[in-house]
Amino acid sequence: MKPRVLVARAVFPDIVERLRSHFVVHDNPGDDAWSQPELIARLQGHAGVLVAGTERIDAALLAACPTLRAVCSMAVGYNNIDLPACTAAGVLVSNAPDVLTETTADFGFALMMATARRITESEHFLRAGRWTHWSYDLFAGADVHGATLGVLGMGRIGQAIARRGALGFGMPVLYHNRSRLDAAIEQQLGASWVGKDQLLQRADHLVIVVPYSPASHHLVGAAELALMKPTATLTNIARGGVVDDAALAVALRERRIAAAGLDVFEGEPAVHPGLLGVPNVVLTPHIASASLPTRRAMAELAARNLMAVLGQGADAGRPPTALNPEVLPLRA
């Protein structure tokens, strides 16, 4: 009998169809928001689940779903998944690294540029019919080329952003990360490691790309914002919760920093009302990885992992991007 799998979010229909040739598939074509109890109910009797970065997979869910063997996510960030609990339960977890690096870096750079050059703020002004004359300082913002780029979190995406800044825009690059890059990579990227405070003090444009964990909760709050230059911008494409959104709203309102670009929010899809009320912020709905080819590649990779974990297809037994391969071979 074919194993049963659940596709918890709407994804490309042809990918769901491909899964149907290996599994009995239950899916969510309407992309309904399932509560945790509903997700648990739907997972009964299922061996695998394909999730996005949005479903919470924790010890309580694992205890309530004893047939579950595989949790395959189409996101690179996996703060929604309790990895140690999955490992303890013998459940294989995979994420989707690499396939979204360049697309996400493109977006991070675009959001930083839109923020520095006040693109959405000026568009709102134009659409509101308020453009009556040219003036020397109309939406005059900050330069990007030649300015100091600060990257907080220098993983794959951070490095791809640094490369864009250094090679394309002549930006000196400073970064802060728990571990330093190899000297050869630093040299290639023209990037220098500095302490976190130095990074905040010296960056003209700070881009945040750290994974979310209890250790990175409110990594940038009021005290950190106070270290930044009043002319600086902050761009967050990491996760809501890495930045204290309430403190950021105050800093923007009081012009303690010039502007922010945010793709992720604490408690999204809700957005802190203080951020909605200030003009100097560019807000986007968590779309940094959202190019069609990349979203397809993310879903394909999750499907490949699901098939591999459950013994199907060319990679059977060898999920390409397992986070806890030590649970293989799966318990019976």
Question: In this structure, are residues 61 and 40 in contact, taking their beta carbons and an 8 Å threshold?
Answer: yes
H/E stretch holding 26: strand 24-26
28 in contact with ligand 8YV (CB under 6 A): no
- If the CB atoms of residues 77 and 241 are measured against ligand 8YV, the closer one turns out to be 77
From 239, 272, 295, 304, the catalytic residue: 239
280 in contact with ligand 8YV (CB under 6 A): no
- If the CB atoms of residues 154 and 200 are measured against ligand 8YV, the closer one turns out to be 154
H/E stretch holding 192: strand 191-193
Return the amino acid letter for 326.
E
- If the CB atoms of residues 75 and 152 are measured against ligand 8YV, the closer one turns out to be 75
Of 223, 307, 241, 261, which is closest to residue 7 (Cα–Cα)? 307
Contacts for 13-19: CB closer than 8 Å, 24+ residues apart: 15/296, 15/299, 15/300, 15/303, 18/303, 19/50, 19/303, 19/306, 19/307
How many residues bind ligand 8YV, per CB under 6 A?
8
Find the DSSP H helices in 93-242. 101-116, 119-127, 156-163, 169, 183-189, 196-202, 222-227
301 in contact with ligand 8YV (CB under 6 A): no
**Hey, what are 28's tokens?**
């969510």
From 186, 253, 268, 296, the catalytic residue: 268
108 in contact with ligand 8YV (CB under 6 A): no
- If the CB atoms of residues 202 and 239 are measured against ligand 8YV, the closer one turns out to be 239
CB of 254 to ligand 8YV, least distance (A): 30
Binding mask 224-263 for ligand 8YV (x = CB under 6 A): ----------------------------------------
CB of 77 to ligand 8YV, least distance (A): 3
From 156, 217, 286, 296, the catalytic residue: 286
Question: In this structure, are residues 115 and 260 in contact, taking their beta carbons and an 8 Å threshold?
Answer: yes
- If the CB atoms of residues 3 and 241 are measured against ligand 8YV, the closer one turns out to be 241
- If the CB atoms of residues 147 and 238 are measured against ligand 8YV, the closer one turns out to be 238
The verdict on whether 266 is a catalytic residue reads no
Of 163, 48, 61, 47, which is closest to residue 105 (Cα–Cα)? 163
What are the backbone dihedrals phi and psi of residue 173, each rounded to the nearest 5 degrees, phi first? -115, 125
The verdict on whether 286 is a catalytic residue reads yes
**Which residue, chain included where needed, has tokens 């793709």?**
263
The verdict on whether 239 is a catalytic residue reads yes
CB of 81 to ligand 8YV, least distance (A): 11
Chain residues 47-106 in contact with ligand 8YV, contact rule CB under 6 A: 52-54, 75-77, 100
**Hey, what are 114's tokens?**
């839109």
Q: Which residues bind ligand 8YV (CB under 6 A)?
A: 52-54, 75-77, 100, 289
Active-site positions read 239, 268, 286
